[in-house]
Amino acid sequence: MTDPAPPAIAGVETFVIHPGGLGTGLRISIARPAARWGRGEPVGPVSVVFLTDADYAFGTVVEASRLGQFGAEVGPMVVVGIGYADERGDYAFVEQRRGIDFYRGPRRSLEVPGLGSLEIGGADAFLAALLDTVAPEVERRAPETAGARRILIGMSAGGHFAAHVLTQRPDAFQGYALLSPALFDPWPAAGDEQLVEAVRALPSGAIPSDTTVFLSAGGCEEEPGNPLAVGAIISNVYRMRAALAAQGVTTELAVFAGETHNSSLGVGATRALRVLVPPGR
């Protein structure tokens, strides 16, 4: 069993679990609500934010949540980062696993132009690990999260996973953030929008009426010459917003001018928290 790495952020609890059927260990990090400057604990019910791709994004989201709580711009929240026990900081392991855990469909091998062979498929097993193993263990260690409003944040392939959860288990979370989401089944042809089509195909009322979805993209993501342009990320977040609106879902969409696929993470996470965890909720 791999020991958890010491937390790089103060006040974070980190542990490793091995969900059955997943085939890899997950490193879970829990950041509890922050006290406001000189004014004690934040006021209001706690939300719990589950973040995929914690090996990339946990620090960004935690600091955004703490600054937001300090300034009373967001409500109190527990941020739960889901990373990998075998990741060593060079992103080699996470790059191998995220295609398997975040993309829907059976596990399969795909030839990606310029990248070689890529293993993808297995999102249902990752979702089962999240709901059946991660969430109960978080509630055991942080009892204040029991019954709390649940938020799921995913970026890029993690956004594909969040959209898949929205179509398969829309009741599992009350808020979703799809940051520069890959709303296609890889590898995409121009205009592919399979996850948008999956939302369109849902029966009326399938998504609970109290669900809120935040969508974002970087304004540079479809510029000519951008290798990600074929994924139509900006176009697809607009299509997804329309599909969700037709389902009666509350949405907010932001396209950040001048930002790329990667650089839009920070501002996207900050805006998502303001939308999904408003103060005094």
Q: Is 168 a domain residue?
A: yes
pLDDT of residue 269: 98
Examine residue 4 and state whether it is found in any structural domain, yes or no.
Answer: no
Report yes or no on 124 lying in a domain.
no
- Predicted confidence at residue 12, as pLDDT, reads 93
Q: Give pLDDT, residue 13.
A: 94
pLDDT, tens digit (0-9, with 9 covering 90-100), for 158-181:
999 999 999 999 999 999 999 999
Both tokens of 228, joined, read 């990600």
Q: Is residue 257 part of a domain?
A: yes
Domain membership flag for residue 118: no
**Pairing outcome for strands 77-84 and 47-51:** parallel
Give, in order, the Cα–Cα distances in Å from 68 to each of 53, 77, 201: 21, 10, 36
**Is 175 within a domain?**
yes
Q: CB 5: neighbour CB atoms within 10 A?
A: 15
pLDDT digits (tens, 9 = 90+) for 35-54: 665 566 656 789 999 999 99
Q: What single letter denotes the amino acid at residue 231?
A: G
Domain count, the chain: 1
- Is residue 98 included in any domain, yes or no? no
pLDDT at 75 (0 to 100):
92
- Residue spans of the chain under pLDDT 50: none
Residue (of 277, 266, 275) closest to 241 by Cα position = 275
Phi, psi at 254, each rounded to 5°: -140, 130
Determine contact, residues 57/155, Cβ cutoff 8 Å: yes
Q: Is the dihedral of CA 262, 268, 270, 273 positive or negative?
A: negative
Structure confidence at residue 214 (pLDDT): 98
C-alpha 178/C-alpha 270 separation (Å) is 13
pLDDT score at 190: 80
* Residue 68, in any domain of the structure: yes
* pLDDT for the residue 110: 86
Domain that holds residue 41: 12-91+131-276
Q: What is the CATH number of the domain that holds 236?
A: 3.40.50.1820
What local confidence, expressed as pLDDT, does residue 42 receive?
56
